[in-house]
Amino acid sequence: MFGALTEQEYERIQRLVADLLVQVEADAVLLCDRGGNIVAQECVSSYKDEDNIAALASGAFFATVEMARLVGETEFRSMLHQGERMSIYMEGTAGDMLLVIVFDKFSNPGLVKLYARKTSEQLGIVSLCVDQVGENAMPKEQFEFDENAQPFTVIQRNKS
């Protein structure tokens, strides 16, 4: 997952998502985290349920991690759902992010996969840069445990 993003890093991510939308002639490209929260998005068509698409796609994609283990794989990197008119392609990126591409029957699924893989790798590079900058720029906080602290106190009430 991406750490704290600077404005420049966010703009770079947004530009990668916008470029992918154009390259594959998609209707929508969403970048979301493991919980389905949209980090960046570009759309040609208006989807009133983008948040729901991202959440459901994320749940479906990350559920396949366990299925992959059951068949002896470490992970499945991508998923394609093809419909008669519309399709959805999902590609995992570094840092537990998910690229969701919604495209119609006129887009080439092979090109969608190719460009999604390239964008995923570029997003992984951004993620690594953010992590490294974040580790160096932000001091780590240390917490101490006080065994004698009383976080809860019992209040006895008089019964009337």
Q: How many Å apart are CA 127 and CA 48, to the nearest integer?
A: 29
If you average pLDDT over every residue of the chain, what do you get? 81
What was the pLDDT predicted at 114? 94
| pLDDT above 70 (res 133) | no
Q: What is the pTM of this model?
A: 0.75
What was the pLDDT predicted at 138? 42
In tens, the pLDDT along 22-64 reads: 999 999 999 999 899 999 999 987 767 889 999 999 999 988 8
| pLDDT above 60 (res 144) | no
Domains of the chain: 7-137 (3.30.450.30)
